[in-house]
Structure 1
């Protein structure tokens, strides 16, 4: 239970940054691939007070192109989709492990070896 909450909190920071700085899902994906810290976006985004700074979405695009030498991919997944996918995989893995345990217990019972 605590693991799922921790998992969600890890992504909640990105959701908050997306809302606060009016970023798209593509900008968030690029920032995550670059390894940017969403808590530091405030330092990068205050182009209103400091007019020489470019807006944060443009900065992320520029940095992404400079680092990877390519345009961002068209396959953009939102944070919500990533969370849903991770939860689905976790439940599948738990179910698979539960079945394996029950199958091994049944096999041990049939062999006459009672687990102690």
Structure 2
């Protein structure tokens, strides 16, 4: 069982460092990828031509299976960001002359 825990920890690290979601992890596993392989394919700053790992996984999955797995979202509505309140007593520090 030691390998299972190590493998789970490796997937968690790959998910974090490659900025993947659960659907990306599932697609990578179905493609037979390993966490180590994903980490090795993180593009370096001088590799502008290389796609991010999540895009690379989705492209490979789509070319092999013809579709991409989607992430299930919650049914809760997203919070809407409120604008600044408009009133006479509101002041913005950016409006100060100094």
Cα pair distance change 1:28/1:16, threshold 3 Å: same
Which residue number corresponds to residue 36 of structure 1?
33
2:56 is the counterpart of 1:59: yes
CA distance, structure 2, for counterparts of residue 60 and residue 47 of structure 1:
17
More helix by share: 1
Which residue number corresponds to residue 50 of structure 1?
47
Give the count of matched residue pairs: 72
The normalised TM-score by structure 1 is 0.54
Runs of 5+ consecutive residues of structure 2 not aligned to the other structure? 73-98
CA positional deviation for 1:60: 0.5
The normalised TM-score by structure 2 is 0.63
Runs of 5+ consecutive residues of structure 1 not aligned to the other structure? 76-116
